[in-house]
Amino acid sequence: MSGHSKWANIKNQKGAADAKRGQLFTKLTREIIIATRQGGSKTEANFRLRLAIQKARDANMPMDNIDRAIKKGAGELEGVTLAEMVLEGYGPSGVAVLVKAMSDNRNRAVQEIRSTFTRHGGSLGESGCVSWLFDQKGHITVDAKSMNPEELELLAIDAGADDVQVSGDTVEIYTKTEDLEKVRHALKDKNIPITATELSMEPKTMVQLDEKSGLAALKLLDKLEEIDDVQAVFSNADFSDAVLAAYQEQSGAK
């Protein structure tokens, strides 16, 4: 599991994400709207919409909110015009960073993302500068507190997973994009407690950072994720447990 994924899980387990639930719902709503506009409102024919709805339900988003977002995407309710963008750049020590964003004002979003990179020791790059370092994968997160991780790993592999990584009580399952739903349904049929399902950009190789660079990179990634127009942030930075612990203490995530 990448270091930043581990940090995200720490924050979620500590409840730090609760304060940002409103912002999370806004981002989930945007994804549902875009997915509906691109592929229609029929979930059986729209994989992206099915995935967006599942992600919203995993986050306990009310069904009324989900239904309104679908209607906005289908043009049944008035909504804003959103543009998708993928921005690429470099963090401290040259780590690769991919930022997926949606905004009703592209220029504003790009400027805010660019300035965040600059303020935190990074730089926004040209299109294609780091995307070649990542592959799109299906990503399933499982809370394995009440399970044997080794048994869960075997179940996931049997279901079609490409890779399984265990970190404490959290198990990260990676699949081919086209196998994500199949693996998820197989785990659900076994009553496996899934906490998140998504398409993720996974780095082909990781870059291990020392404490100083690691703390700076984590700060950059967190600040990018806090931008309203940013949907997701991916990086090839690999943080040691010691760096994560130091950042957790530094940031006050109790």
SS3 of 42-89: the string is CHHHCHHHHHHHHHHHHCCCCHHHHHHHHHHHCCCCCCCCCEEEEEEE
pLDDT recorded at residue 18: 47
pLDDT, one tens digit for every residue, the chain (254 residues): 455 566 565 555 544 454 466 788 999 999 999 999 999 999 999 999 999 999 999 889 999 999 999 999 999 988 778 999 999 999 999 999 999 999 999 999 999 999 999 999 999 999 999 999 999 999 999 888 878 888 888 999 999 999 998 877 788 999 999 999 999 999 999 989 898 899 999 999 999 999 999 999 999 999 999 999 999 999 999 988 888 889 888 876 44
> Alpha helix locations (H) across the chain?
3-14, 21-39, 47-58, 63-73, 106-119, 149-159, 180-189, 211-225, 241-251
pLDDT at 201: 93
Provide the token pair at 179: 């196998």
CA dihedral (105, 132, 235, 171) in degrees, to 10, reads 120
Distance of CA 108 to the CA centre of its chain: 22
Check residue 144 and give its pLDDT. 81
Predicted pLDDT of residue 4: 53
Beta partners for 163?
A: 174
Pairing type for strands 194-203 and 207-208 reads: unpaired
Give the helix/strand (H/E) hosting 96: strand 96-103
Return all residues near 206 (Cβ < 8 A) that are at least 6 apart: 2, 236, 237, 238
pLDDT value, residue 11: 54
| Claim: this prediction has a pTM higher than 0.85 | yes
Task: Please give the Cα distance from 194 to 186 (Å, whole number).
Answer: 11
Domains and CATH numbers, the chain: 3-73 (1.10.10.200), 83-132+205-251 (3.30.70.980), 134-203 (3.30.70.980)
Please provide residue 125's backbone torsions phi and psi, each rounded to the nearest 5 degrees. Answer: -110, -175
Two tokens at 5? 């994924």
